[in-house]
Structure 1
Amino acid sequence: MTKEQTWSQRFESALHPAIALFNASIGFDIELIEYDLTGSQAHAKMLAHTGIISSEEGEQLVTGLEEIRQEYRQGTFQPGVDAEDVHFAVEKRLTEIVGDVGKKLHTARSRNDQVGTDTRLYLRDQIQQIKGELREFQGVLLDIAEKNVETLIPGYTHLQRAQPLSLAHHLLAYFQMAQRDWERLGDVSRRVNISPLGCGALAGTTFPIDRHYTAKLLDFDDIYANSLDGVSDRDFAIEFLCAASLIMVHLSRLAEEVILWSSEEFRFVTLKDSCATGSSIMPQKKNPDVPELVRGKTGRVFGHLQAMLVIMKGLPLAYNKDLQEDKEGLFDSVNTVKASLEAMTILLREGLEFRTQRLAEAVTEDFSNATDVADYLAARGVPFREAYNLVGKVVKTSIAAGKLLKDLELSEWQQLHPAFAEDIYEAISPRQVVAARNSHGGTGFVQVSKALIAARVQMDQ
């Protein structure tokens, strides 16, 4: 059995049913239906505004499209594969509702500029939602940070103990990553919010349309200056996928730290039952499923970015059917980012607890105060590189003796260099090591308190 054509009488035979199924996008572009209806209403109003159709016909079209919206929301309008795509599905149903006037809706418009408009309306809306979720995520980071300005945590480079930090300072690093994500989405949104409606299939139209009128109705900031570019451009989607990928990078980095921190080897956090699962055969285990899933889902967003780049790299102007493949990856990336942000926000808010006593012990178990010994000498006139080498030697001998720097006798310090005095012990205490790093943007408690105030100001912008 073959499928009857939906587009023109140019073809003598109908499409093979397997090809019809392969060709159809209704299974996923139904996601755009509300945006398609909104764009179509604006187009109908413009047709009436310019006199291409009568005012009465314009009102009929707008009313009929709104009826379809309500049917869809109520679940009574559920087009199948025979509709091919959401645009044909809406037009067919509209004609059933308002009669032949429904066939006038597509005047001066192509599916090419139509789907471009729908996708931009969709993405503009989703970006605002993601920005809102980023603010929720940032808010939780700040809530935890404000309670832990003077909680210490080991800092790492190369995953080796480096220098102790304020836990608030550590969390504020992720706040700043999220802030860049929030700002980056705003920048992407500017290029999303340009209207291709009226570009037609590729060359514009012979009808006296008013593209600025529809752009204003749809709250677009501008219109595409070139019709070829308008229907074939997917830069905005690629930019969004880049921004989405970076959001996932940042979430994945935090996820990896939570996974490490919750391990028996670190024991920096305890996972609560609401955000962890157990093993099917090992009853003692509590698995960090949320951060592991976020870490895993990051790859799918990267994959969608790569797929979009590959789709676009060889396309001649203007529209090509390849561009049908832009939607599933875009939709999935939006959903993945939103779900991951929500999950990580819940995890931070109510799914884990920092083990402050363990953290306090951890910062006393290593040589992460060695740089402060070198700084101590440099402040007393010893060239830093000379001080650095001296401290390297004392670390080496201390390790051999099974001691930490805090365990050395004053006489041992003074054998190393006569500049050492009793105050060396205070200088290398973890709390003083952190407090002393009072340079702008540093981990010192004064600087962290200032950074928290500044972060709250950023949240209000």
Structure 2
Amino acid sequence: MAAKAWGGRFSGESDAQVEMFTESISFDARLAPYDVQGSQAHATMLAEVGLISNEERDQICGALDEILGEIERGEMPFSASLEDIHMHIERALIDRLGDVGRKLHTGRSRNDQVATDMKLFVREAIDRIDGLLADVQRAFVERCEGDQDVILPGYTHLQRAMPVLAPHYWLAYCEKFQRDRERLADGRKRVNLSPLGAAALAGSSLPIDRHQTAELLGFSEPAANSLDVSSDRDYQIEFVQNLSLIAVHLSGLAEEWILWFSTEFGFLSLPESYTTGSSIMPQKRNPDVLELIRGKTARVIAAVPQMLVLLKGLPMAYNRDLQEDKIALFDAYDTIAACLELMPGMISGAALNRDAIAARLEEGFLDATALMEYLIKKGVPMRTGHETVGKLVAECENRGCTLSDLSLEQLQSACDLIDEDVRKVLGTKNAMAALVSYGSGGKEPVTEQIGRWRERLDS
């Protein structure tokens, strides 16, 4: 039992099945760089306060660099008997340095050590996801200039509603991903509090300097309550919740583009490199990447209740249940990162099928709302205008024509305030051009927003 960090209390060996059941090295080995980073900061502080010598600090920090190199090169064998990556590194350190290696754990527990590693991991993960989201936003913004003359039908209830410029669609996703980035940035503030030195749950009687280790590790300050530190996984749940909203946005985008890629819509052509074929139908080109993104996001969303249920019944402070937090968090993070890495190339490589879009653009009475607002400008009450245009639409459906096909006399029979200037709002292109409110899908507002997004992403 000497190899165990807690072995002094025990006289016999652990059961082999228990060791396999309790190990976490199979999934926490990825924390090695953060464990070394935290341990080197801890050793630096121990030397500063006189608990180890400067020479011992240098020996520890140098040996930790060597150990990390071995891990990264795949040279360190992992054993379930050593439980986790933290004990593998500590055992390797002791094997190299003997009693000097045994001094590293002074003034800390595996509880605050693991919590520190996880905060360092989550902080870096947040920064990476933020960068990937920015790449997706840039891909959408870079599309805008080339698509600025394409008018698309906007939908509600999956029914044609009003026309918008294509870049309005692209920027809508930029807005969603921007909110995701802002949530990540806000959560990062709560991640950036150092647990190191909180020890098992009550702190330490040794003269450790938690402010120094916080500074060395780039934390804003040490966490203020050692009891809370041992049990706190709020920041992990918040991170996974933020990932789940990114997943929802990615799934919605995938669903929309899958529809647009279908023969029935025909709005979009995907790059061949992002599609696959059928094993039996030679004509098929399937949007499998988008379908898998839509499918994989389910795992991310499911990680939220998994984390919440894990924590909901735990007493203060540390409980071994918390070992399971990493499985859900790592999978959610890896899944979202993989999805986001694929998106910029697909966004840039997709092409709008302009002829197919234009061929059906006048279907669905996309100019009906513009006609209603024309009547409002003429002094017609909104509800009256709504009813009037609704009757005109019904008449067009009976005739098999569009609103712009109606003669001035036919339009005036519905409302005598209609004049020849009504032609300025009839037809999809005119209806789109009539949109002038801030944030709308018309040309001037969209052009303004493209400039705003370019400036934001450049800065």
Query: Normalising by structure 2, what TM-score?
Result: 0.97
Tell me if the contact between 1:4 and 1:14 (Cα under 8 Å) persists in the aligned partners: no
Residue among 439, 442, 459 paired with 1:441 = 439
Give how far 1:231 is off. 1.5
Structure 2 match to 1:86: 85
Which residue matches 1:160? 159
CA distance in 2 between partners of 1:6 and 1:43 (Å):
18
Cα deviation 1:225-260 (Å, max 9, x = unaligned): 100111110111011011111111111111111011
Structure 1 position 102, deviation (Å): 0.6
Task: Check whether the contact 2:366–2:431 (CA below 8 A) recurs between aligned residues.
Answer: no
Structure 1 portions without partners, runs of 5+: none
Partner Cα distance (2:175, 2:281) in 1: 39
Q: Which residue among 382, 385, 398 is the counterpart of 1:384? A: 382
- Kindly report which structure 2 residues correspond to 1:17-416, keeping only aligned pairs within 5 A, or say none: 17-350=16-349, 352-416=350-414
Query: In 2, are the aligned partners of 1:26 and 1:81 still within 8 Å (CA)?
Result: yes
Shift of 1:144: 0.9
Unaligned runs of 5+ in 2: none
Seen in structure 2, the aligned counterparts of structure 1 residues 360 and 9 have a Cα distance that, compared at 3 Å, is same
User: How many Å apart are 1:362 and its aligned residue?
Assistant: 2.8
AA matched with 1:234:
R
1:5 Cα deviation after fit: 4.8
User: Residue type matched to 2:331 in 1?
Assistant: D
Indicate if the aligned counterparts of 2:2 and 2:8 stay in contact, CA closer than 8 A.
no
Mapped to 2, the partners of 1:272 and 1:238 lie a distance apart of: 36
Give the match's secondary structure for 1:165.
strand
Kindly provide the CA deviation profile for residues 134-172 of structure 1, in whole angstroms up to 9, marking residues without a partner as x: 111000000112222231000001111100111111111
Q: Which moved more, 1:90-99 or 1:30-39?
A: 90-99
The one-letter amino acid paired with 2:29 is: I
3-state SS of the aligned residue for 1:154? strand
CA distance in 2, matches of 1:427, 1:356: 22
Find the aligned partners of 2:150 and 2:200 in 1 and give their Cα distance: 61
| Residue-by-residue CA offset, 1:106-141 (whole Å, 9 max, x unaligned) | 111100000000000111111111111111100000
- Name the CA shift for 1:34/1:142 in 2 (closer, same or farther; >3 Å): same
In structure 1, what is the Cα distance between the partners aligned to 2:3 and 2:16? 9
- In structure 1, distance between residues paired with 2:154 and 2:168: 10
Aligned AA (1:69) = L
Give CA deviations for 1:375-396 in whole Å, capped at 9, x if unaligned.
Answer: 1222112222112111111111
Tell me the TM-score normalised to structure 1 length. 0.97
Contact 2:230–2:318 (CA under 8 A) maintained in structure 1: yes
TM-superposed CA distance for 1:417, in Å, is 2.0
Please tell me whether the aligned partners of residues 149 and 169 of structure 1 are also in contact (alpha carbons under 8 angstroms): no
**Residue-pair matches, total:** 459
Q: CA deviation at 1:6?
A: 5.0
Read off the aligned partner of 1:40 and give its amino acid letter.
Answer: S
CA distance in 2, matches of 1:382, 1:58: 82
Paired AA for residue 47 in structure 1: L
**Distance in 2 between the 1:362 and 1:290 partners?**
28
Q: 1:259-290, CA deviations, whole angstroms, 9 ceiling, x for partnerless residues? A: 11001110000122111011111212111111
Secondary structure (helix, strand or coil) at the match of 2:98 reads helix
What are the superposed Cα offsets for residues 46-80 of structure 1, whole Å, 9 maximum, x if unpaired? 11111011111111111111111121222212322
Pair 1:4–1:40, CA change in 2 (3 A): closer
Specify the code of the residue in structure 2 equivalent to 1:202.
Answer: L
Name the aligned partner's letter for residue 277 of structure 2: G
Letter matched to residue 235 of structure 2: F
RMSD over aligned Cα atoms: 1.5
Q: Relative to structure 1, is the Cα distance of residues 80 and 8 closer, same or farther in structure 2, using a 3 angstrom cutoff?
A: closer
Q: Secondary structure at the match of 1:423?
A: helix
Shift of 1:3: 11
- CA distance in structure 2 between the aligned counterparts of 1:270 and 1:26, rounded to whole angstroms: 45
Does the residue aligned with 2:160 lie in a helix, a strand or coil?
strand
Cα shift readout 1:153-193 (whole Å, capped 9, x = no counterpart): 00001111100111111111100111111111111111111
Counterpart of 1:459, as a letter, is: L
Distance (Å, rounded) in 2 between the aligned partners of 1:206 and 1:377? 79
Give the stretch that moved more between structures: 233-242 or 398-407: 398-407
Aligned-pair identity (%): 46
**Could you tell me whether the CA contact under 8 Å between 1:197 and 1:214 is conserved in 2?**
yes
SS at match of 2:7: coil
Return the letter of the residue paired with 2:438: H
* Segments of 4+ moved more than 3 angstroms: 2-6
Q: Is the 8 A contact 2:148 2:166 kept in 1?
A: yes
Q: Quick check: 358-367 or 121-130, which moved more? A: 358-367
